[in-house]
């Protein structure tokens, strides 16, 4: 800085003060280097050694880029959030007010246009002052300040612990700065140096560079600064903390007037302009740009997910600290998969359907993925992204696993059932096969095959009473076709089906479509057979990915948020392309999809939608966690509602004035899904889902895809405990397994295996 003052320790003589100054400013290094005066007599020896020292110092500025904010953008180019330690918005010199250019030269380096990087007059003036007074003056030119700021930036980018800040410099630091300043003057024009300086230096708070400072202090662009405003900003450079207009208006005004006086003295303004500017009241906005996801324009939880992805990826640095430094200083441009328009609508929708202040701990989330790529299109929830511990405010991302900022997830409920049916198909069965769903109790020692566990099996457990089951719909404890059991989402046929199979096969299917526990990202454990009924806690992202696999005809794609990352130098970082693999047989998926189409239509769209979609509901035992996960050919969307702070039931809660007598997967989530897809279909136009061309029933008269013929009709169900009046499966006592092995398993008896 041109005129920073500070108290020195007491010295016994003027000579002591001179030597102190020489050590602090490295003027001695400058003099011995012979930069300012010719060598003569005995001093020539000293000059020679000084030149040797200078020859060993670099004459090029550091290669590290200037610290710049990083920005996260949506797929359609809308800014989501900015990250920075130094808020900097570089602008060319012609976009900076002439008042500002002149003000900074007048107050910081009035001979800027005359010297070659080092100001001899300034050095002499500072020497005389420091010898004759108890305070110190610096003599750094704008070029030296530019160099020093570049060195500091380099150290910060590299993470150096020692910064060459004013007051901490050693003699070698100053000599290095001086040599670089002289070199810079040979390599850059005065305008280039001035532009670089004005875009680099700290003005106020985290506002580095004139554009960010002008926006922060006055709420306007640097090109529009008036004279008195430019003088105010120029005055801050000496001490940004001291000359803060909000905290020290008197001192800031006095410093402004000092700058105006310097401008008048150097002929940059007239007396009239000076007097008018001095008369202006000090007004300001002091409204800076916030940093990070807390200030995201939209998609704050998605922003948080993207930030965590960056910090976890070795592509962006060897450790978390270096990755954070790159994010805060590296000027990254991060392109993502999210659709800004649909994201904003999804946020509004989830907050409207279940207001975040309606019920304590009541959450509503929605996440959509593109089948075939895994690209995240939306990630929304009804809470406000905030570190405040208040109702409806949280940084907890309801849509993702704990590793990515989520919690421990939510009970999956019946959303697992289609994948158990798929495992049956993978083992050679058909959905028209039947099982004995009358079994509602499995003794503690009942063995379920689990080849991946020690001994090759696990037991039902459940204490002395064993594992006791029930169904939501009465009258369904009977021999049932597999497709009918999935359609009505009944438990006893599901467990009977799982009993016919190897539980490790079921876990393998679930793992292949991306279903893992939200707590630790581990595959589900087959040790407790109850996992087949969805007792495990999973995240909405996990389930959206699993159903996207069905929408993509059996191709699983890992959810993806980032499509491109570049920095200010044009360097492009390697980000994962869509990570997909074929995990299911398309023909088997095509057998399940029509079933899920009927489920979706029956539960949430009995009057139709005008486009094809499929899906499945899910509800845990006490109605604290509910789902509808649906898909078209273009989007797979998981909608969840329930408690995220407790297991308290949602039954009986009042939401938007309506008492929830029951709270099932279709109660709230179905409507949210339909409204969402009515908006999303305009961008992601649904196509035709695959049709199953295999047998629908062993009875030829019932073959074909009949919405009311393949499954029980609602009127066929006696909810008071009777059996359905019609059945499309084999008659009681018959078996319809597709292989002798499976039939033998069943006939061996579920209680004696």
Low-confidence ranges of the chain (pLDDT < 50): 1-50, 53, 135-136, 161-168, 697-753
Task: List pLDDT tens digits, range 577-629.
Answer: 999 999 999 999 999 999 999 999 998 998 889 999 999 999 998 899 999 99
Percent helix, percent strand, percent coil in the chain, to nearest 5: 40, 15, 45
Nearest partner of 542 among 621, 618, 648, judged by Cα: 618
pLDDT score, position 287:
86
Cα Rg of the chain (Å, integer): 36
Nearest partner of 298 among 83, 74, 77, judged by Cα: 74
Q: Classify the phi-psi angles of 84: left when phi > 0, otherwise alpha if psi is within -120 to 50, otherwise beta.
A: beta
Where in 508-659 does DSSP place strands (E)? 537-538, 555-557, 562-566, 572-573, 580-582, 614-619, 625-631, 636-643, 654-655, 658-659
pLDDT score, position 55:
55
pLDDT score, position 359:
59
pLDDT score, position 127:
60
CATH number for 408-521+701-753: choose from 3.30.1380, 3.40.710, 3.40.50, 3.40.140: 3.40.710
Instruction: Answer for the pair 672, 364: CB distance below 8 angstroms, yes or no.
Output: yes
pLDDT score, position 239:
94
Both tokens assigned to 179: 């040599």
pLDDT score, position 282:
96
Both tokens assigned to 458: 């696990």
Tell me how far CA of residue 561 lies from CA of 207, 251, 421, 516, in angstroms.
Answer: 30, 49, 31, 19
Rounded Cα–Cα distance for residues 733 and 32 (Å): 107
Tell me how far CA of residue 228 lies from CA of 94, 234, 279, in angstroms.
Answer: 19, 10, 9
| Sequence spans of domains, the chain | 55-68+85-278, 69-84+294-396+539-685, 408-521+701-753
CATH superfamily of 55-68+85-278: Biosynthetic peptidoglycan transglycosylase-like (1.10.3810.10)
Class of domain 69-84+294-396+539-685: alpha beta
pLDDT score, position 249:
96
Rounded Cα–Cα distance for residues 476 and 485 (Å): 8
Cite the DSSP H helix spans in 605-700: 669-680
Nearest partner of 380 among 308, 294, 305, 307, judged by Cα: 305
Domains 69-84+294-396+539-685 and 408-521+701-753 share a fold: yes
């Amino acid at each position: 800085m041109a005129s920073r003052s500070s108290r020195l320790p007491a010295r016994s003589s003027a000579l002591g003060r001179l030597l102190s100054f020489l050590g602090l400013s490295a003027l001695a290094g400058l003099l011995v280097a012979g930069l300012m005066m010719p060598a003569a007599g005995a001093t020539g020896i000293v000059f020679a050694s000084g030149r040797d020292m200078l020859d060993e110092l670099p004459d090029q500025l550091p290669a590290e880029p200037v610290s710049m904010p990083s920005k996260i953008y949506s797929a359609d180019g809308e800014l989501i959030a900015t990250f920075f330690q130094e808020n900097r918005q570089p602008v060319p010199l012609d976009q900076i007010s002439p008042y500002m250019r002149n003000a900074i030269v007048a107050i910081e380096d009035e001979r800027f246009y005359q010297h070659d990087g080092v100001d001899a007059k300034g050095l002499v003036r500072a020497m005389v002052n420091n010898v004759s007074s108890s305070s110190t003056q610096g003599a750094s030119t704008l070029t030296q300040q530019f160099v020093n700021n570049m060195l500091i930036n380099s150290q910060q980018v590299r993470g150096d612990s020692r910064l060459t800040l004013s007051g901490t410099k050693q003699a070698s630091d100053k000599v290095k700065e001086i040599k670089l300043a002289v070199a810079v003057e040979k390599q850059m024009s005065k305008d280039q140096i001035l532009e670089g300086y004005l875009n680099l230096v700290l003005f106020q708070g985290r506002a580095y560079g004139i554009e960010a400072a002008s926006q922060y202090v006055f709420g306007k662009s640097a090109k529009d600064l008036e004279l008195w405003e430019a003088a105010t900003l120029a005055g801050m450079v000496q001490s940004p903390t001291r000359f803060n207009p909000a905290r020290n208006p008197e001192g800031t005004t006095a410093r402004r007037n000092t700058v105006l006086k310097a401008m008048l003295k150097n002929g940059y303004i007239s007396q009239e302009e000076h007097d008018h500017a001095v008369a202006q009241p000090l007004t300001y906005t002091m409204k800076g740009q916030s940093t990070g996801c807390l200030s995201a324009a939209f998609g704050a939880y998605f922003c948080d997910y993207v930030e965590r992805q960056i910090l976890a990826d070795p592509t962006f640095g060897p450790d978390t600290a270096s990755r954070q430094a790159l994010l805060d200083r590296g000027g990254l441009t991060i392109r993502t998969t999210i659709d800004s328009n649909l994201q904003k609508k999804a946020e509004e929708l989830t907050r409207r359907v279940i207001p975040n202040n309606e019920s304590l701990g009541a959450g509503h989330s929605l996440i959509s993925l593109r089948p075939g790529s895994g690209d995240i299109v939306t990630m929304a929830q009804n809470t406000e992204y905030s570190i405040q511990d208040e109702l409806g405010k949280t940084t907890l991302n309801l849509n993702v696993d704990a590793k990515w900022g989520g919690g421990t997830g939510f009970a999956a409920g019946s959303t697992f059932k289609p994948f158990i049916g798929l495992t049956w198909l993978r083992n050679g069965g058909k959905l028209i096969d039947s099982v004995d769903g009358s079994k509602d109790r499995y003794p503690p020692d009942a063995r379920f095959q689990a080849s991946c566990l020690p001994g090759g099996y696990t037991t039902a457990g459940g204490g002395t009473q064993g594992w006791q089951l029930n169904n939501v719909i009465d009258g369904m404890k009977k021999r049932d076709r597999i497709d009918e059991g999935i359609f009505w989402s009944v438990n006893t046929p599901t467990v009977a089906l799982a009993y016919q199979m190897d539980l490790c096969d079921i876990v393998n299917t679930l793992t292949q479509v991306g279903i893992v526990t939200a707590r630790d990202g581990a595959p589900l454990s087959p040790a407790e057979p109850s996992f087949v009924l969805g007792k495990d806690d999973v995240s909405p992202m996990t389930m959206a990915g699993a159903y996207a696999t069905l929408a993509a005809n059996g191709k699983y794609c890992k959810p993806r948020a980032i499509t491109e990352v570049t920095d200010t130098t044009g360097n492009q970082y390697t980000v994962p392309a869509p990570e997909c693999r074929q995990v299911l047989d398309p023909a088997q998926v095509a057998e399940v999809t029509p079933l899920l189409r009927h489920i979706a239509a029956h539960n949430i769209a009995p009057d139709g939608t005008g486009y094809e979609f499929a899906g499945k509901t899910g509800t845990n035992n006490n109605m604290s966690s509910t789902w509808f996960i649906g898909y078209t050919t273009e989007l797979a969307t998981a909608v969840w509602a329930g408690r995220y702070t407790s297991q308290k039931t949602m039954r009986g809660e009042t939401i938007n004035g309506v008492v929830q007598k029951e709270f099932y997967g279709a109660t709230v989530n179905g409507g949210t899904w339909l409204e969402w897809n009515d908006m999303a279909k305009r961008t992601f136009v649904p196509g035709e889902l695959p049709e199953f061309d295999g047998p629908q029933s062993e009875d030829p008269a019932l073959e074909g895809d009949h919405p009311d013929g393949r499954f029980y009709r609602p009127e066929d169900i006696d909810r008071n405990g009777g059996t359905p009046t019609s059945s499309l499966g084999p008659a009681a006592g018959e078996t319809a397994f597709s292989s002798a092995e499976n039939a033998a398993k069943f006939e061996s008896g579920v209680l004696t295996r």
